[in-house]
């Protein structure tokens, strides 16, 4: 399991492309689970949502992107767009070694 902590307070059209590229560059090809820690992110727009989806699509075979620490505003965006059915969403970053959903 790999955790990528996002230090941006907003993922919007101004940073979406750089965000997607940064996540792709940080992903360990050996990690089967990549947890994107969004605790510091207070706002995400459709461009940011698209960047998260693009980062997920850029993962290798057998890898999955999970999300953690969503603020109420960010969580609402994922639920309103039904992306909560695409991503596993954790309230907090799971402890290392915790088994993910089957």
Domain limits, the chain: 2-90
Does the domain made of 2-90 have the CATH classification 3.30.750.24? yes
pLDDT for residue 101 is more than 60: no
pLDDT for residue 97 is more than 90: no
For residues 24 and 55, the answer to whether their CB atoms sit within 8 Å is yes
Residue 17 to residue 69: CA distance in whole angstroms: 22
Match 């605790």 to its residue by tokens.
39
The pTM assigned to this predicted structure is 0.87
Average pLDDT over residues 39-65: 94
**Backbone Cα Rg of the chain:** 12
Residue 83 to residue 65: CA distance in whole angstroms: 12
């Amino acid at each position: 399991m790999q955790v990528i902590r996002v230090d941006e307070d907003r993922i919007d059209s101004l940073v979406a492309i750089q965000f997607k590229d940064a996540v792709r560059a940080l992903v360990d090809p050996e990690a089967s689970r990549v947890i994107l820690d969004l605790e510091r992110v207070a706002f995400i727009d459709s461009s940011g949502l698209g960047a998260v989806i693009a980062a997920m699509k850029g993962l290798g075979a057998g890898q999955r992107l999970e999300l953690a620490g969503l603020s109420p505003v960010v969580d609402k965006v994922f639920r309103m767009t039904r992306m909560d059915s695409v991503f596993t969403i954790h309230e907090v970053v799971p402890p290392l070694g915790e088994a993910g959903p089957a």
